[in-house]
């Protein structure tokens, strides 16, 4: 098992000083090499669960075991270095840095984190930087083809790309890194059809390199097309976790999202 979530509880206090339990015992196993979708209504705590895994939300009980490490006491950057990559819900590229610099940051650091090593070994540092640049350009070619438009925009500011393009490019950045697990928070939300298909093919490509993918998604077609299994977060627990093939996807398209989830899993059980 690559990732094990065991009995995770967390609560928040709102502005009126009322405490509410958001997660009330989430347990879930993610197998190595699998593609797992996480569904759940708005505000059900999906993003919070991702924040717990990637170390941004520390106030929880239960345990998160990744590749044999308990992540409880590790800061976000250390968790990322263990091999967990993440796509956020919101903006994606760092504004103020060029596209190339953004991608370069995604390449793993051969040169470790020691502050002075770049001053002491300038030659090696320059070599490593060059390698990162090449890797970034290679990945753009691999994902979008020879002579694609992004190759002409390597020196454009990260914020000059459209929202959809930023999502694609940050997926490219994740592909460069040597992560074992990718957490993708609603990869297709808010993008148009053309980007939707590209994102699907990128995720499939990334998965084919053996990376494990755990993603939050609302679009059932997208889930059906790419995921091996699907988990439902509802009322603070994982109510279902089963292979996507077992789910009766055809039922009731026009229903609201929450009803849809209930329907789908009712049919199946």
Q: Does residue number 22 form part of the binding site for another protein (CB under 8 A)?
A: no
Residues in 49-108 at the binding interface with another protein, rule: CB under 8 A: 51, 54, 56-57, 75-78, 80-81, 85-86, 88, 90-91, 94-97, 101, 104-106, 108
Contact 178, 209 (CB under 8 A): no
Q: What is the C-alpha to C-alpha distance for residues 174 and 49, in angstroms, rounded to an integer?
A: 20
Contact 162, 135 (CB under 8 A): no
Q: What is the largest CA-CA distance in the chain?
A: 64
> How many residues belong to the chain?
269
Q: Is residue 120 exposed (0-12), middle (13-18) or buried (19+ Cβ within 10 Å)? A: exposed
Residue 90 near which of Mg ion, ligand ADP, another protein, none (CB within 5-8 Å, type-dependent): another protein
Min dist. Cβ of residue 138 to another protein (A)? 19
Q: Annotate each residue in 145-174 with x if it binds another protein (CB under 8 A) or - if it does not, as one string.
A: ----------------------------x-
Q: Find where tokens 């690559």 sit.
A: 2
Residue of the chain from 36, 47, 51, 188 that contacts Mg ion (CB under 5 A): 47
263 phi and psi angles, rounded to 5 deg: -55, -50
Q: Does residue number 139 form part of the binding site for another protein (CB under 8 A)?
A: no
205 phi and psi angles, rounded to 5 deg: -60, -45
Residue 144 near which of another protein, Mg ion, ligand ADP, none (CB within 5-8 Å, type-dependent): none
Our CA angle for 63, 69, 71, nearest 5°, is 50
Q: Does residue number 42 form part of the binding site for ligand ADP (CB under 6 A)?
A: yes
Q: What is the C-alpha to C-alpha distance for residues 257 and 40, in angstroms, rounded to an integer?
A: 8
DSSP state of 159: G
* Stretch of residues binding Mg ion (CB under 5 A), selected from 7-15, 41-49, 137-145, 253-261: 41-49
Q: What is the C-alpha to C-alpha distance for residues 12 and 28, in angstroms, rounded to an integer?
A: 21
Min dist. Cβ of residue 221 to ligand ADP (A)? 20
Our CA angle for 236, 237, 242, nearest 5°, is 140
Min dist. Cβ of residue 48 to ligand ADP (A)? 3
Residue of the chain from 114, 120, 152, 208 that contacts another protein (CB under 8 A): 114
Min dist. Cβ of residue 122 to another protein (A)? 9
Residue of the chain from 2, 45, 230, 232 that contacts ligand ADP (CB under 6 A): 45
Q: Annotate each residue in 22-41 with x if it binds ligand ADP (CB under 6 A) or - if it does not, as one string.
A: x-----------------x-
267 phi and psi angles, rounded to 5 deg: -55, -40
Would you tell me which residues interact with Mg ion (CB under 5 A)? 47
Would you tell me which residues interact with another protein (CB under 8 A)? 47, 51, 54, 56-57, 75-78, 80-81, 85-86, 88, 90-91, 94-97, 101, 104-106, 108-109, 111, 113-116, 118, 125, 128-129, 173, 177
């Amino acid at each position: 098992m690559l990732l094990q979530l065991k009995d995770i509880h967390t609560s928040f206090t709102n502005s009126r000083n009322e405490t509410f339990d958001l997660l009330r015992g989430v347990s879930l196993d993610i197998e190595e090499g699998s593609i797992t979708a996480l569904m759940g209504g708005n505000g059900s705590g999906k993003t919070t669960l991702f924040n717990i895994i990637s170390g941004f939300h520390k106030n929880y009980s239960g345990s998160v075991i990744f590749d044999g490490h308990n992540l409880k006491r590790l800061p976000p950057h250390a968790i990322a270095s263990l091999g967990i990559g993440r796509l956020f819900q919101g903006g994606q590229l760092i504004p103020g840095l060029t596209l190339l610099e953004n991608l370069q940051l995604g390449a793993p650091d051969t040169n470790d984190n020691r502050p002075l090593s770049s001053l002491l070994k300038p030659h090696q540092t320059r070599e490593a930087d060059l390698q990162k640049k090449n890797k970034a350009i290679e990945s753009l070619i691999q994902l979008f083809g020879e002579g694609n438009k992004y190759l002409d925009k390597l020196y454009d500011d990260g914020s000059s790309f459209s929202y959809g393009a930023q999502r694609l490019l940050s997926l490219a950045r994740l592909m460069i890194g040597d992560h074992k697990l990718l957490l993708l928070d609603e990869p297709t939300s808010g993008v148009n059809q053309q980007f939707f298909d590209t994102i699907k093919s990128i995720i499939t490509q990334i998965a084919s390199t053996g990376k494990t993918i755990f993603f939050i998604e609302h679009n059932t077609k997208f889930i059906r097309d790419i995921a091996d299994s699907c988990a439902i977060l509802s009322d603070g627990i994982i109510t279902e976790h089963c292979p996507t093939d077992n789910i009766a996807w055809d039922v009731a398209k026009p229903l609201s999202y929450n009803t849809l989830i209930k329907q789908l899993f009712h049919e199946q059980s």
